[in-house]
Amino acid sequence: MTAPPARPLRLGLLQYPVERPASVAAWAAKLDRWLDQARGRADLLVLPEYACVELGAALSGAGAAAAPEAAELAAMVDAAEAILAAMRDAARRAGAWLLPGTLPMRAPDSRPGNHAASRIVNRAPLIAPDGRLAFQDKRAMTRFEAERWGVSAGADPQVFDTPWGRIGISICYDVEFPKHVRAQVEQGAWLVLAPSCTDSPAGFTRVRVSAAARAIENQCLVAITPTVGDAPWSAALDTNRGHAAVFCPADRGFPDDGVLAAGVMDAPGWVFCELDPARIAHVRDHGAVRNHRDWPRGPVAPPRPAMFG
């Protein structure tokens, strides 16, 4: 495992208000306005899953009406390269690391017999201040994505080398699966970013509780941030609930409730938090428990029925 540096990370999480920009240029201007508010306050800025999909209605030509699901997705995929270029330009102007949410993109179909085909995946770019980028795909699909929108499972979890050590990205539903985050932690991640898009309090609860559990069981930090507001013109972003938060081990040197920072439910705006990777390294060695070290190794034997006397 790569030892984390002592340098703290200033993290900014945006509770992103869903609106209806008329073009990629208008969306880029909105992104710049929000990033300007965080200038000088954060080193790494995070937007929610599917934040840019608010563009879908305009790009599909739906006008004042709601965009049909297929048309919205097709329009976003067709514009993905232009949107990605706008994201990279925004990171350069902001002079900060940027996770600008996720966007649906075409990717080669690596399944046997499908080498010439492509599929649509939900992809999160992590962009350096100079515009360099790398991607993490969403691995687990919700029913809406798989059954109605036609988005496929993407690549396996990986990690990103940053000035603050290795971090991972587990997009929304992915954070509900312990093995996805664990794979990133075992590759050296001390922080996992989980941008989300949840359309009900129950959906937000699933992400919130799962993120908190991942932080405890891996003795790492997990940060979530959602889209907020209503968008009746969008198939994917019709209703958006939640708040940003940073979860931590509920152990020595951290808050008793395992929450380092939290925003206001459904309210647009930034949530800032300073994170110190050295504190994670310390609690893994000196905590009251050692979840990170004591994670079960190797295959687990199937349970046997208990015998009643």
Domain boundaries, the chain: 9-286
Residue 287's contacts (CB-CB under 8 Å, 6 or more residues apart) are 219, 249, 251, 252
Judge residue 138's burial from the number of C-beta atoms within 10 Å of its C-beta, 0-12 exposed, 13-18 middle, 19 or more buried.
buried
Query: What is the CATH T-level fold of the domain 9-286, as seen in this structure?
Result: Nitrilase/N-carbamoyl-D-aminoacid amidohydrolase (3.60.110)
What sign for the dihedral angle of Cα 132, 117, 54, 243? negative
Q: What is the three-class DSSP state of 15?
A: strand
Residue found by looking up tokens 């492509």 in the block = 118
Task: Quote the DSSP letter at residue 149.
Answer: I
- Flag residues of the chain having pLDDT under 50: 1-2, 4
pLDDT at residue 228, as a whole number:
98
Q: DSSP character for 200?
A: S
SS3 of residue 181 by DSSP: helix
List the one residue out of 62, 55, 165, 40 whose CA is nearest residue 100. 55
State the pLDDT at residue 1.
Answer: 44
**Phi and psi based region of residue 86 (left: phi greater than 0; alpha: psi -120 to 50; beta: remaining):** alpha
- At residue 297, the pLDDT reads 80
Q: Phi and psi at residue 56, in whole multiples of 5°?
A: -55, -40
Q: Quickly tell me which residue has 């994917």 as its tokens.
A: 236
- Extended strands (E) in the chain: 9-17, 44-47, 97-100, 103-108, 118-127, 133-137, 159-162, 165-169, 191-196, 221-230, 239-240, 245-247, 259-262, 269-275
Burial level of 63, CB count in 10 A (0-12/13-18/19+)?
A: exposed
- The structure tokens 């706008």 sit at 86
- What confidence score (pLDDT) does residue 260 get? 98
DSSP 288: S
Closest CA to 12 of 222, 275, 259, 270: 270
* pLDDT score for 4: 47
Q: Are 166 and 187 in contact (CB under 8 A)?
A: yes
C-alpha 258/C-alpha 308 separation (Å) is: 39
Give the integer Cα–Cα distance in Å for 136 and 162. 14
Continuous H helices in 197-245: 201-218
Determine the Cα–Cα distance for residues 47 and 36; give it in Å rounded to an integer. Answer: 14
Q: Kindly report the backbone phi and psi dihedral angles of residue 277, in degrees, each rounded to the nearest multiple of 5, phi listed first.
A: -60, -25
